[in-house]
Amino acid sequence: RRDVHNATRVPFGVMIPVRVSHNQSIGPGVVPAGVDPAYDAQYANHKGPVAHVGANGFGRPFSVAPGPITHTQTPYVTGTTVLGMKYKDGVMIACDTLGSYGSTKRYKNLQRMRVVNAKTIIGFTGELSDFDYIMTLLDELNTNDYCEDDGKELSPKEIYSYLCRVMYNRRNKFDPLWNSLVVAGLMKDGTQFLGTVGMIGQHYTDSHLAAGFGNHMARPLFREKHTDDMSEPEARALMEDALRACVMRDKSMMNKFQIAKVEFGKAPTVSEPFAVATSWDYEKFKNPSEFAPGTW
């Protein structure tokens, strides 16, 4: 580093200026080393630009974390499965209201389904903070729509396509948004829309969908019993059946659900929380080790 107390004061923050020659014979250019000893003496103690590394000698500047740039590796506050199905009057999605923190049931009032605009609803599984960021992005889309003020707003399929691109591009940067999303709504041509996007950008549309554990427990039931022209009570009964199967077998789920639906000609609604009936009075549960001590 330069000694700032020498006679020739250099303005603060400036490196040693390169000595430019205006000699007509060699033309403009930097004076090479060895030509001007006084100038070279200034370089004797000069250190080159310092590479900015972390406190440990490697890694990013101003970081204590070692190694290369790392992003989200594990989720922290998570939501479990979301189920969705189309029916005659519209489309409905359902999930529980639990936000788990690892193996703790931490947030029991979490709304995992949100209304996006007058025709679209969205539900998430996975990390809560990443979903809040996604809602911020969707909010920006809505603001743009509002500012355009042309009476049109984004259709569910457009929101779904936008989210597919967001999730895939984040995955390509090795910094995924740790969510599986279910997007549901009504299209202008009078059809329902139901699609899912995952954290690596995989996406799929169908008449009935699930994200997370529901793929194993609820999809078999939907495949057996779902038809596109179910009435609303039938669809709700099938949805509650699937929710019961999921909550009986998913350890990170609780018996407190909401159903969000978009119906033709009505605004999207998210229902009040409810529980499904469970039965525990099977004979074989009463005394399982009656004939075989050590069994439970």
Partner 1 sequence: SFPRSIRIRRAPSRDAPPTMAHSMRDDPDAGGFNFDNVRRNDMLRGTGLHFKNAMKTGTTISGIVFKGGVVLGADTRSTNGETVADKNCEKIHYIAPNIYCCGAGTAADTEAVTGMIASNLELHRMATKRASRVVTALTQLKTHLFKYQGHVGAALVLGGCDANGPHLFTVYPHGSSDALPFATMGSGSLAAMAVFESDFKQDMTETEAKELVARSIRAGIFNDLGSGSNVDLCVITQSGVQYLRNHETPNERTYVRSKGYDFPPGTTQLNRRNFMTASSASLPLNETVIISEGSPEDAMVM
Residues that bind partner 1 (CB under 8 A): 216-221, 223-224, 241-242, 244-245, 248-249, 281-285, 288-289, 291-292, 294-296
| 81 is an active site residue | no
The 3 state secondary structure assigned to the chain is: CCCCCCCCCCCCCCCCCCCEECCCCCCCEECCCCCCHHHHHHHHCCCCCCCCCCCCCCCCCCCCCCCCCCCCCCCCEEECCEEEEEECCEEEEEEECCEEECCEEEECCCCCEEEEECCEEEEEEEEHHHHHHHHHHHHHHHHHHHHHCCCCCCCHHHHHHHHHHHHHHHHHCCCCCCEEEEEEEECCCCCEEEEEECCCCCEEECCEEEECCHHHHHHHHHHHHCCCCCCHHHHHHHHHHHHHHHHHHCCCCCCCEEEEEEECCCCCEECCCECCCCCCCCHHHHCCCCCCCCCC
Sign of CA dihedral 165, 168, 172, 178: positive
> Which one from 8, 70, 72, 74 is the annotated catalytic residue?
72
Taking the least distance from each CB to partner 1, the nearer of 114 and 226 is 226
Place of tokens 């895939």: 168
Taking the least distance from each CB to partner 1, the nearer of 131 and 213 is 213
Taking the least distance from each CB to partner 1, the nearer of 5 and 286 is 286
Tell me how far, at minimum, the Cβ of 245 lies from partner 1, in Å.
4
**In sequence order, which residues have a C-beta less than 8 Å from that of residue 167 and are 6 or more positions away?**
176, 177, 179, 181, 197, 198, 199, 200, 201, 203
Tell me how far, at minimum, the Cβ of 104 lies from partner 1, in Å.
24
Taking the least distance from each CB to partner 1, the nearer of 211 and 217 is 217
For the chain, the residue count is 296
Taking the least distance from each CB to partner 1, the nearer of 33 and 248 is 248
Tell me how far, at minimum, the Cβ of 247 lies from partner 1, in Å.
9
Tell me how far, at minimum, the Cβ of 80 lies from partner 1, in Å.
14
Tell me how far, at minimum, the Cβ of 121 lies from partner 1, in Å.
25
**In sequence order, which residues have a C-beta less than 8 Å from that of residue 175 and are 6 or more positions away?**
71, 72
Taking the least distance from each CB to partner 1, the nearer of 77 and 218 is 218
Tell me how far, at minimum, the Cβ of 130 lies from partner 1, in Å.
27
Active-site positions read: 72
